[in-house]
Amino acid sequence: MGYKMGMFNGMEEQLLIGGALSLLAGLCTGIGAAVALFLKRTNAKMLTFSLGASAGVMVYISFMELMPLAMEKLGEGLANKWIVLGAFFGGMGLAALIDKLVPEDENPHEFRSEDEVHRAQYTTVQGRDKVKRSAFLFAIAIGVHNFPEGMATVAAAFDNVSIAMSVALAVAIHNIPEGLTVAVPLLYGTGSRKKAFWVGTLTGLAEPLGALVCMLVLLPFLSATLLGILFAVVAGIMVFISFDELLPMAERWGHHHLSIGGVMSGMFIMAAVL
């Protein structure tokens, strides 16, 4: 009984760490929002490299850490391998479904550059109102996409805090440019630096919300099998985010070779750290 109680207390501590990491990663959107307000010009090279690095971190963690852990938790056997693969592609499907539910014009993967937003403001009389409406919908879309990332951080913390830290780092890196892409159109649409900053920051709070839901829903059913399935699902979500969101976004900012350099740098950093 004492052993079980000690194990439960240890799990509680890991969950709290996972929740804290998710909160910190989510708040990094505020850094991007602040950068957008104080820089006269967006540093496209920095954005391209950081998005590529975040994708590299996520892909490396997924295939080199989470998938092997998933197999270890479920054990040997052909049936278990199929369960892991099903969970992996199920995670990709879940991320794709969330992506599909977001209207195309407001999708985070279809974001506009600072110059495009600036031109839209003055193209028509209604341009400013259109940018304002689009900016708020875009902020909601970013929040929706951030939700499963919070779940991913806590899911990793269930078993290994060091992996949870790596996941949170990858999420934090790409949250910075996300905060920027939320704040810039809001600034042009509303004319309020304060509103642009706070809305850009608040979109990141969907991540600790996702972490909280994960803790409340999954904790009562926690087992080695569930952990293995969860790791594979998280790996699928992260791979989908990397190829569907981060790399296309990096390409949109230009500097193709910088994005690839970022991918390789992110992978190398994770290889060295882990």
Count of Cβ atoms closer than 10 Å to residue 83 Cβ = 18
Residue 102 has a pLDDT of 61
Which among 42, 274, 48 is positioned nearest to 167, based on CA atoms?
Answer: 274
Tally of domains within the chain: 1
Rounded CA-CA distance 51/44 in Å is 11
For residues 146 and 26, the answer to whether their CB atoms sit within 8 Å is yes
Count of Cβ atoms closer than 10 Å to residue 5 Cβ = 9
Which among 264, 133, 150 is positioned nearest to 205, based on CA atoms?
Answer: 150
In which residue ranges of the chain is pLDDT below 50?
Answer: 1-8, 106, 108, 110-114, 117-125
Rounded CA-CA distance 153/175 in Å is 14
Count of Cβ atoms closer than 10 Å to residue 17 Cβ = 17
Rounded CA-CA distance 172/49 in Å is 14
Residue 119 has a pLDDT of 47
Q: Take residue 12 and report the two structure tokens written for it.
A: 């509680």
Helices (H), the chain: 2-38, 44-61, 67-74, 78-101, 114-123, 127-157, 161-190, 193-202, 206-218, 224-241, 247-252, 256-273
Helices (H), 67-158: 67-74, 78-101, 114-123, 127-157
Q: Take residue 124 and report the two structure tokens written for it.
A: 């028509």
Residue 11 has a pLDDT of 67
Count of Cβ atoms closer than 10 Å to residue 94 Cβ = 16
* Cα-to-chain-centroid distance, residue 260: 19
Containing domain of residue 74, as a range?
2-273
The residue type of 45 is: K
Which among 12, 38, 26, 3 is positioned nearest to 172, based on CA atoms?
Answer: 26
Residue 23 vs residues 20, 26, 57, 211: alpha-carbon distances, Å: 5, 5, 19, 9
Which among 206, 93, 72, 109 is positioned nearest to 151, based on CA atoms?
Answer: 206
Residue 167 has a pLDDT of 81
According to DSSP, residue 63 is labeled I
